[in-house]
Structure 1
Amino acid sequence: MKERLSRLGEGMYDALAFAATRTAGAAAGLGRQALRARVGIIALSLAAIGGYALYQRPPMQSVARGEAAVRINQLTGGVAEVREGAVLVIPGLHELRRFPLRDQVYRAQGGDVFQTVEGLSIGVDITVRYALEPASLASFARNLPDDIGGQVVEPAAQGVMYKTLARYTVREIFSTKRQEIRDSMEGELRAALARDGIKLQSVLIGKVELPEEYRAGMDRLLAEELASEKMLYTLQLKEKQVKESDLDAEADKVRREKAAEAAGQEQIIAAKAQAEAMKHILPFKQKQIEQRGLEAEADKISRIKAAEANAQARQIEAQGEAESRRKLADAEAYRQEKLGRIASEQLERDGALIQKNPLLIQKAMADKLSDKVSVIIAPPPAAGGFIGSALLGQTAASNEGE
């Protein structure tokens, strides 16, 4: 970049010198009008060259969000840090370098082969997350390359990884000391990157690719260890179950004893309460008995009184009934006497009337039999006998003759 700027400056200087020389020669040999035409052409050429230079290297440049830029003065060597926004960059004088402030990631995939302390080759996925330190960016910007991940982080990470993994066995890397290895790598790599103004965020160890034979043997060993651990846990579980059964039995025994004691206490309290209650119940029962006796005596007296009242009422009723019957009998006798007198008087009157009018007997008989028989009124017999003898005379005569 510096070479391009220097070449561009030299070209512009040569063009200006050539233009000045030609202009002086032309001024000596030509007239004023031709000189003006040549000066105009040279001015247009210089303007075109300047416009092209501004197009290629605009003086106003921008810094995007999440980035930081460092403007380096090519003449004085001064460095100015610029954050998000616009910045003035003069071509040929300033150099602007942009750096990302967000976290960057470097990954060592399983294809990278590492050697263990046994001399076995394994593949380990390791992820390194890092970022540039904004506070020290201005001091380290001049020495940092454009490809920070490939030229700074990757060599440092590879050196730390190879050196660290070579101190451990495959089993330690695979299972037992993974956290220790990660912490060791992180400590060494943080110090190595800090010398270049790079802040280490974290180191993550992922999948470990083992040789097939070693993996098969480790799987069998892990299976045996898991079986032995399972047996150990099973025995511990059985022992805990036995202890739990003993504790449950002891707890049940204590619970029963407590329940029996509580039941006994309840019975004692109930007996005491019952005895205390009997102190009040017995007088109450005695009072109830006395009250019932008094009630029975009162009921007896009331019944006697009621019986006496009923007897007196019955006597009064009997006397009243006898008096009533006597009066009724007297009234009936008086009525019969009166009726007899009336009947005898009526008979006397009827007899006297019949003696005067004998036909009244027939009329009365006809009135009696008018609704049942047909009555034939005939003259009375001459002898003064029964009126019916005239109708039955012939039959009566025949009967007498027999």
Structure 2
Amino acid sequence: MVMEDDWDIKDPDDERRPSIPEIKIPPMAGVILRGAGIVLAILIIFSVVFGSIFVSIGAGEVGVKFSQFGGVQDDELGEGLHIVPPWVSVTKYSVRSEVYTMSARTSEGEVVGDDQINALTNEGLTLGLDISVRYRLVSEDASVVHKNLGTGYAEKIIRPTIKSVIREVVSRNTAMEVYGEQRELVATEMREEMEAALLEDGIIVEEVLLRNVRLPEKVADAIESKLQADQEAQRMVFVKQKEQLEAERKIIEANGAANATIVRATGEAEALRLINAELAKNPKLINYKYIQMLDGQEVQTLIVPADQGIILDATN
């Protein structure tokens, strides 16, 4: 009896199962996939050996490239994901608006402690100033800043420029001009001079805030007294104007009353003239007025002039 090999035994269900079609990859596609795999493997090896070659630049940032073979490169990296060679390192810089503050308060400012700027006015008075400068780095000049100043450019160039410009501008003004109503004009002058000094270094000055001005104690007292005197003078002017308006009102009121009296007197005189004219025409009219006046009243005795005769019958 011939025994069949177990591997040759066919399962009856095999004929009912659907056959899986064979996928054929074109030769060219296979070459491309193998090449991509090799490149990816090489990149991974380089990343492990030399560091990551993938660099992500965030929003409001710019990347400055430094090559081990060529130094700082001029073409900055913008926002997004970039692939750089392993021998190139990238330093990120913020191009958003930043604020540099110098203040007497220890809780604020870039330097811990009293960092207020002291400056002399053209009168020789020493003022203490709290300053905040809003600035931003020009993205196209980030490589120049990195080459010339480095990441600590704020301390290297912005801080000394702020001090120099503040003292220069204050020296051309009086204490009252810096402290008083012209403060905004002085701050604008400071911003313009700072911008002119820092623009060549790739930094734009957007705003200068002159936040607080500390005067010498005697000057502060004198200014306070002057302000109080000015306020008192303004109050007296107001009182004088008020009294003048009140006097004018009384004059107008008196003129109105006088005019009313004249009109009333004129009317009364005209009324008397008309009455006298009527009496001259009819002398008996006065007797008629007496009768009208006594109408409805209980009169028992009436005294009349002797020449008027009896005008009422007392017996009736």
Percent identity over paired residues: 22
- Specify the alignment match of 1:101 in structure 2: 95
- Specify the alignment match of 2:226 in structure 1: 225
Alignment of 1:1-12 (within 5 A): none
TM-score, reference length from structure 1: 0.45
- Specify the alignment match of 1:8 in structure 2: none
Larger CA deviation: 193-202 vs 64-73:
64-73
Could you say what the CA RMSD is over the residues aligned between the two structures, in angstroms? 3.6
| CA distance, structure 1, for counterparts of residue 45 and residue 54 of structure 2 | 18
Work out the number of aligned pairs and report it.
210
The SS at the match of 2:135 is strand
Alpha-carbon offset, residue 164 of structure 1: 2.2
- Whether the aligned pair in 2 keeps the contact of 1:153 and 1:193 (CA below 8 Å) is yes
1:16-72 CA distances to partner (integer Å, 9 max, x unpaired)?
A: xxxxxxxxxxxxxxxxxxxxxxxxxxxxxxx99956433xx2000111122122334
Larger radius of gyration: 1
Amino acid at match of 1:82: L
Amino acid at match of 1:224: S
| CA distance, structure 1, for counterparts of residue 77 and residue 44 of structure 2 | 31
- Whether the aligned pair in 2 keeps the contact of 1:69 and 1:98 (CA below 8 Å) is yes
Amino acid at match of 1:115: A
- Specify the alignment match of 2:79 in structure 1: 84
Alpha-carbon offset, residue 147 of structure 1: 1.1
User: Where does structure 2 lack aligned partners over 5 or more consecutive residues?
Assistant: 1-42, 105-113, 262-316
1:196 aligns with 2:201: yes
- Specify the alignment match of 2:240 in structure 1: 239
Amino acid at match of 1:88: I
Amino acid at match of 1:97: T
Alignment of 1:164-179 (within 5 A): 164-175=169-180, 177-179=182-184
The SS at the match of 1:123 is strand
Alpha-carbon offset, residue 129 of structure 1: 0.8
- Whether the aligned pair in 2 keeps the contact of 1:115 and 1:165 (CA below 8 Å) is yes
User: Where does structure 1 lack aligned partners over 5 or more consecutive residues?
Assistant: 1-46, 261-402
Amino acid at match of 2:80: G
| CA distance, structure 2, for counterparts of residue 167 and residue 88 of structure 1 | 53
Higher RCO (Cα < 8 Å, 6 or more apart): 2
- Whether the aligned pair in 1 keeps the contact of 2:73 and 2:143 (CA below 8 Å) is no
1:133 to 129, 138, 141: 138
Amino acid at match of 2:130: D
Alpha-carbon offset, residue 242 of structure 1: 2.7
- Specify the alignment match of 1:151 in structure 2: 156
The SS at the match of 1:80 is coil
| CA distance, structure 2, for counterparts of residue 258 and residue 203 of structure 1 | 66
Amino acid at match of 2:60: G
- Whether the aligned pair in 1 keeps the contact of 2:47 and 2:53 (CA below 8 Å) is no
Name the structure with the higher helix share. Answer: 1
1:98-127 CA distances to partner (integer Å, 9 max, x unpaired)?
A: 111221111122333523145444421111
Alpha-carbon offset, residue 180 of structure 1: 3.1
Amino acid at match of 2:49: A
TM-score, reference length from structure 2: 0.55
- Whether the aligned pair in 2 keeps the contact of 1:66 and 1:100 (CA below 8 Å) is yes
Alignment of 1:159-308 (within 5 A): 159-175=164-180, 177-210=182-215, 214-215=216-217, 217-249=218-250
| CA distance, structure 1, for counterparts of residue 73 and residue 126 of structure 2 | 49
| 1:50–1:84 Cα change, 3 Å | closer
| CA distance, structure 2, for counterparts of residue 166 and residue 82 of structure 1 | 43
| CA distance, structure 1, for counterparts of residue 239 and residue 211 of structure 2 | 37
- Specify the alignment match of 1:11 in structure 2: none
